[in-house]
Amino acid sequence: MALQLPQGLLKVLRNAENQVKDRYAGPVLFGSEQQTEDGATVADLARDVGEMVYGCLRFPEIMRHSLESSVERVAAGEIKDFQESGELLLRLFDAIVQHMKGMQEWAGKLREQGHLVAHATELGEAIKELSTLRDEFADRWPWIDKNVIDEATAEYERGESSTLDEAFAEIAGVDQETWRRRVEERNRQGDAGAVEGG
């Protein structure tokens, strides 16, 4: 089964960003106080950017949930392509951070013109939180490469390896008991769905 990510929200925000760029193109976008053909001003732009910034503030929570779900799916054997899935998550993190920095730049330009953007002061902290989450993910994801496999094989042969429960609990950042409860709950949910559907 393939890894499924919350890319839809990023697409929605990018589409909104493109609509705003199209609407405020030319001298209105970070320029004079002129109006667009439909009467929109730079103050309207600040309001529209504020709405996009507000949407960006949810990204750390959304990605944290997505990562927890992904780790649980790895442990349940639903995700087998660790390398590809991990790279996909990193690309998504990078795209979201880039989008958020773009919103931060817009907010800064508008502030320079005397137009405050709602929630813009919270954006820097959200970017920092998302970047930290990305780094923690990159450090803890079960990346697969030849060196890792060779090292794990040698550890196993020396009797130094962890059980799967220990390893997945560590990846998820929880103790083994919490990990086992999560797996049992996910298995119960899967069994209930199979009974209802079949």
The crossing angle, in degrees rounded to 10, of helices 42-56 and 82-112 is 150
Looking at per-residue pLDDT, the higher value among 11 and 116 belongs to 116
Instruction: Quote the percentage of the chain above a pLDDT of 70.
Output: 79
For residue 105, pLDDT over 50 is answered with yes
Which of 49-53, 111-115, 155-159 shows the lowest mean pLDDT across its residues?
155-159
Looking at per-residue pLDDT, the higher value among 83 and 6 belongs to 83
Looking at per-residue pLDDT, the higher value among 185 and 146 belongs to 185
Which one, of 118, 114, 108, 4, lies nearest residue 52 by Cα?
A: 118
Instruction: Quote the percentage of the chain above a pLDDT of 90.
Output: 16
Q: How confident is the model at residue 132 (pLDDT cuts 50, 70, 90)?
A: very high
Q: Which two tokens mark 86?
A: 């991990």
Asked if 109 and 30 count as a contact pair (C-beta separation under 8 A), the reply is yes
pLDDT value of position 26: 53
The residues, any chain, with a CB within 8 Å of residue 34's CB and separated by 6 or more, are 27, 28, 41
In whole angstroms, how far apart are CA 156 and each of 83, 106, 163? 22, 53, 10
Asked if 153 and 120 count as a contact pair (C-beta separation under 8 A), the reply is no
pLDDT value of position 167: 80
For residue 45, pLDDT over 60 is answered with yes
Q: Which two tokens mark 19?
A: 């609509």
In whole angstroms, how far apart are CA 94 and each of 87, 88, 100? 11, 10, 10
For residue 18, pLDDT over 90 is answered with no
Distance CA 169, CA 178 (A): 8
